[in-house]
Amino acid sequence: MTEDESGRRQDGLVDMENWQLAMFIREVGNQADTFDIAGKDFNTAYGSLGSSNPDADEQWTRLFMALQAMVGAAAMISKLLWPNSSMLDFKGDPLDEEGLRMREIRIARGGALRNALDVKAIPILQSRKVRNAFEHFDEELDAFFDSPSRFWTLDHNIGPIDQAVVVSEDGDVVSKTLRLFDPESGNAHVAGKNVNVQDLANAVSALNHKSRVGWQTLRSNSIASAD
């Protein structure tokens, strides 16, 4: 990656000034910090479960609140690095001329940001299925309840996913799990989608380090250019 005399980065993907690229790099770090803080809240809440703490019920809620915040922050990082490339708008209609122009800008920006942070494929971050399940939870409920059969709904559970079931006298599973964290596998389950929390944390931590290095490098280059 090289720079011309104006300080613009020529990476073959998009022409961005240092300060523009730095803002996106900084936002990756901001979201990574948010993930880290939520992770600490998650660990604190999990450590309080099963104790004689009179606020144990609240900690149970806090655990899933922190989990949702972690997944949301990871998804924000994902969108920064791998922007929406759909040819349709939010209504499902084809993009107009301005929409297509902004789509190209987003795609190019994502490529420049990945290039600047030396990011290749990170499948666990590229997939936003669990975040989408949280964000569109009302639609997930509609899908769950769109069944002619009656069943038990299990929510906010902690334990192995295969044990969070209700079985009928005939041996049929008559329950559906909405949100669950499995400490043994480390997986978080939301409406049938799952992600490994530790693997997600490792990916975000690595990006946080890269974003800090990238931010400092661009900042140092900007100061040197000013001199």
Alpha-carbon span 169 to 67, nearest angstrom: 35
Bridge partners, 10 (sequence order): 2, 15
Compute the radius of gyration of the chain from its Cα atoms.
Answer: 22
For 18-67, what is the HEC assignment?
A: HHHHHHHHHHHHHHHHHHHHHHHHHHHHHHHCCCCCCCHHHHHHHHHHHH
81 within 8 A of 110, measured Cβ to Cβ: yes
DSSP assigned state of 173: B
**What confidence score (pLDDT) does residue 5 get?**
43
What does the alpha-carbon distance between residue 61 and residue 122 come to, in Å, rounded to a whole number?
30
For the chain (227 residues), the mean pLDDT of every run of 10, in chain order, is 43 61 93 97 89 72 95 94 86 88 90 92 91 88 77 86 72 77 94 93 95 81 59
Closest CA to 112 of 6, 9, 2: 9
**Cβ proximity of 85 and 74 under 8 Å:** no
Q: Which two tokens stand for residue 159?
A: 């334990």
pTM, 2 dp = 0.82
The pLDDT score that the predictor gives to residue 141 is: 85
User: How far apart are the C-alpha atoms of 178 and 161, rounded to whole Å?
Assistant: 11
pLDDT of residue 44: 92
